[in-house]
Chains A and B, each alone.
Chain A
Amino acid sequence: MNAPLEYLLHLADNAVVLGQRNAEWCGHGPILEEDIALSNVSLDHIGQARLLYQLAAARMGEGATEDRLAYFRDAAEFRNYTLLELPHHGPLVGYAVAERDYATTIVRNFLYAALMVLVWEALEQGSDPDLAAIAAKAVKETRYHLHHAADWVVRFGDGTDESHARAQAALDHLLPYTEEFWTPSPAETAAAACGAAPLLADLRSAWDAQVDATLAAATLRRPQEPAYVPEGKLGRHSEHLSYLLGEMQSLARAHPGAVW
C-alpha cells in the first residue's frame, strides 16, 4: 500500500534541506579530505531527495515534477524537521557574521543519521514497494553517514578542551530539537496506519541506545529535553528555512525550465 504523499514529501524535504545546508561547507571544509567527505554526504542526501520527489511527482500527476517540488514550493509547504534547517552555529548568533562551527554540523548529522538508519531499515520492510526500494539504497548511505558523524562526535568530545566544549555546546543546542522526531504528524500516523512506515515511538529506544553509547564514548553529557516541540514537519519553521530556500531556489526561479 502506498505511503501518503505528505509522508514522501516529509522524507524528501528532510533530505534536500540537510543536503543543501551541508553543501555550504563545499570548498570551505576544515581540511581537504573532510571537505570531500561531507560533500559526499550532501550528494547522498540530494540523491535521496531526488528519488523521493520523483516518486511523489509520479503519483501526483498533473504536471508535477521533482523540480517543481524542490524549487517552487515555499517554506510553509516544506515538511522537514526544524533541526535540519538550522545554520551551522549555535543559537543567538548573528546570521551573516557567524562563522560555521563544524561541531554543530557533525552533531546534527549524527542525531539525524542515528534516526534515519532506523527509519530506512523499517521502510525497507514496509508495504510501499517503491519506497522500500529507495530505502534499500538509502540505508547503506545513511549507515556510512552515521559512522562518519559518530566517529567525529567521539573525536571532538574526547579530544581537546576546545573540541569538547564545542561538541557539548552543539549537543545542548541541537538535542532538544530531536523532540520533533517523537511527536507523530498526521502524515506519519497515516503512513504507519497503512503499513508503509514505522511508528516512530517504536524506534525511540534504539535511537536512545545509539545516542547514549556514542555520547558515553565521547565523554559528552546528554542535556535534558525541554517541553518545547518544534513543528517543522507541519510546515511551521524557524526563520532560517526561507533563507536556505531563497538560495537553493533562486536559480530555478530566475530561469524556469532551464536545463544544463
Chain B
Amino acid sequence: MNTPALKEWPLWEVFVRSKQGLEHKHCGSLHAADAAQALHMARDVYTRRQEGVSIWVVPSAAITASNPDEKGELFDPAADKIYRHPTFYAIPDEVGHM
C-alpha cells in the first residue's frame, strides 16, 4: 500500500502474429501499467476479430528509431541497386518458403 498513483501509464508497442503468419507484425500501441497488463489490453484491443494467435508487447521507450531527417542518406542510395532483389534467378523447389 501507499503506492503512488501512476497518473500516466507507459506506452507499449503491440505485435501480433496471425494464424498463417510467420512473423509478429506491428499493429499499434496502447497504454498499460505494466507488461502483464499490456498483454491483456493488447488481447482486448487488437485481437477482437481473430487477428492473431500470439502477441508481443514492447515498451515504446525501448525502441530506437531512425531519424526522419536522415531519410535521404539512409535509404535513397538503395534505389538504383535493383540487382539486390533476388528476382534474376529461379529458386529451386527444395528451398521452400523464403
Contact = CB atoms under 8 A, between A and B. Distances in A.
A31 B30 CA distance: 10
B1 A33 contact: no
A151 B41 CA distance: 12
Interface stretch (B32-40, B58-66, B67-75, B84-92): B32-40
Interface residues of A, number: 18
Given A37-B41, A159-B3, A31 B48 contact: no
A242 B36 CA distance: 39
Interface string B14-50: 0000000000000000111100110011001100100
A51 B40 CA distance: 26
Interface of A: 31-34, 36-37, 40, 147-148, 151, 155, 158-162, 164, 219
B44 A151 contact: no
B44 A40 contact: yes
A232 B48 CA distance: 33
B70 to A, nearest CB: 33
Given A33-B30, A33-B31, A33-B32, A148 B40 contact: yes
A15 B2 CA distance: 37
A147 B37 CA distance: 11
B33 A155 contact: yes
Nearest to B34: A155
A151 B48 contact: no
B96 interface: no
B5 interface: yes
Contacts of B30: 32-33
Nearest to B48: A40
Contacts of A159: 1, 3
Contact of B41 (A34, A155, A158, A160): A34
A132 B32 CA distance: 36
Given A31-B31, A155-B33, A160 B44 contact: no
Given A31-B31, A33-B31, A33-B32, A164 B1 contact: yes
11 contacts: A31-B9, A33-B45, A147-B40, A151-B40, A158-B3, A159-B3, A160-B3, A160-B4, A160-B5, A164-B1, A219-B1
